[in-house]
Amino acid sequence: MFIQAFWSLLVLVASTVLASPAARASIQARQAITALTTAQITAYKPYTYYASAAYCSPSTTLAWSCGANCKANPSFVPVASGGDGDGIQFWFVGYDPTLKSSLCRHGNVEFALETMNSTLFTGVSSSVKVHDGFGKEQAKTASAVLTAVKKTMSAYSTTVVTTTGHSLGSALSLLDALYLSIQIPSATVNFIGYGLPRVGNSAFANLIDSKFPSLAHINNKEDLVPIIPGKCRLLGYVHPSGEKHILDNSTWVACPGQDNTSSQCSTGDVPTIFNGDVDDHHGPYDGVEMGC
Ligand SMILES: *[C@@H]1O[C@H](CO)[C@@H](O)[C@H](O)[C@H]1NC(C)=O
Ligand SMILES: *[C@@H]1O[C@H](CO)[C@@H](O)[C@H](O)[C@H]1NC(C)=O
Ligand SMILES: *[C@@H]1O[C@H](CO)[C@@H](O)[C@H](O)[C@H]1NC(C)=O
């Protein structure tokens, strides 16, 4: 389906300091649609580079030698990576001593809402449903990612984990954020994603909101991926809160609530895929185009 046309990926970053200015702004901006300051936008940039870097296939030696966007976070220390960019999406996990840590992938998928895998998502209510294809993709790499994140946390004495990715990778990294928060209760997990498609139903969005108050999913202009799977709101798909929308004049705004229908937010700005522009999907996000 459409997702095959868009490379997608996932980066996981852990840091000792969670509350970036941008994250704090997202909490304060629950009520009105407010513009982000330059400093708030800049705070997302390392994550933007990580999400982009996930388009580069990880080498077996974990050499961190992909494109310019990878090198934009030169202090990154890779710990583990996997995937083949085909049956299994690329991912990586590592540590960033400045931010502090990381993982990524790519992808393609299917469509129904299903209950979550109770082995991986222990204790999650059966009312919580997610996109079947995303759930299956996440399950393929779940245990390898968990092992790598535990190893990273232990090696660098950090408890803060941030998952990030673009497109399908964003969806997978959102599921990984939930998965890691359940499997590693001592971790403080957050998610910063780009071009996030809808991942689950209303109960899922509420669960995500309750677990990740600093979550950010950043959408560029008329990117149509954030409003799919198609007709999703009719099918019961709901976005979690925390949208940051980049307007046509490049102002970033924080959109309060889930699926805000204001024309300044993706759901209102792109009512159908025919109102969307596929060229906006890869960016630029504050000057960064997704890609290796
Ligand atoms: C849940 O995930 C585990 C680990 O990936 C897998 O072995 C198991 O088959 C999955 N269960 C279902 C019902 O899909
Ligand atoms: C950008 O567009 C928004 C929405 O139209 C407007 O409110 C804002 O003032 C504009 N900002 C700049 C810097 O032009
Ligand atoms: C959308 O944003 C407006 C602020 O412009 C806010 O009043 C409204 O509650 C939000 N909608 C949702 C669904 O949260």
* Residue 134 domain-assigned (yes or no): yes
* Residue 290 domain-assigned (yes or no): no
Q: What percent of the chain has pLDDT over 90?
A: 50
Amino acid at 156: Y
* Residue 2 domain-assigned (yes or no): no
If one counts the domains in the chain, the total is 1
Rounded CA separation 5/25 (Å): 33
- Kindly give, in sequence order, each residue whose CB lies less than 8 Å from that of residue 82, ignoring residues fewer than 6 positions away: 58, 88, 90, 91, 92, 141, 144
Give nearest CA residue, ligand 3 atom 3. Answer: 32
* Residue 46 domain-assigned (yes or no): yes
Cα(236) to ligand 2 centroid in Å equals 32
Determine whether 245 is an active site residue: no
Which atom of ligand 3 lies nearest, measured to the CA of 257?
14
* pTM: predicted TM-score of the whole model, two decimal places: 0.86
For residue 60, pLDDT over 50 is answered with no
Give the residue ranges of DSSP H helices in 127-285.
Answer: 132-155, 168-183, 202-211, 232-235, 266-269
Cα(55) to ligand 3 centroid in Å equals 34
- In three-state form (DSSP H/G/I as H, E/B as E, the rest C), the secondary structure along 183-201 is HCCCCEEEEEEECCCCCEC
* Residue 223 domain-assigned (yes or no): yes
- What pLDDT is attached to residue 240? 97
Q: What percent of the chain has pLDDT over 70?
A: 78
CATH of the domain at 157: 3.40.50.1820
For residue 101, pLDDT over 50 is answered with no
* Residue 116 domain-assigned (yes or no): yes
Structural domain harbouring 223: 7-280
Active-site position among 26, 52, 167, 173: 167
Nearest ligand by distance to the CA of 262 = 3
* Residue 18 domain-assigned (yes or no): yes
* Residue 67 domain-assigned (yes or no): yes
> 159-217, pLDDT tens digit by residue?
889 999 998 889 999 999 999 999 999 999 999 999 999 999 999 999 999 999 999 99
Active-site position among 96, 176, 223, 269: 223
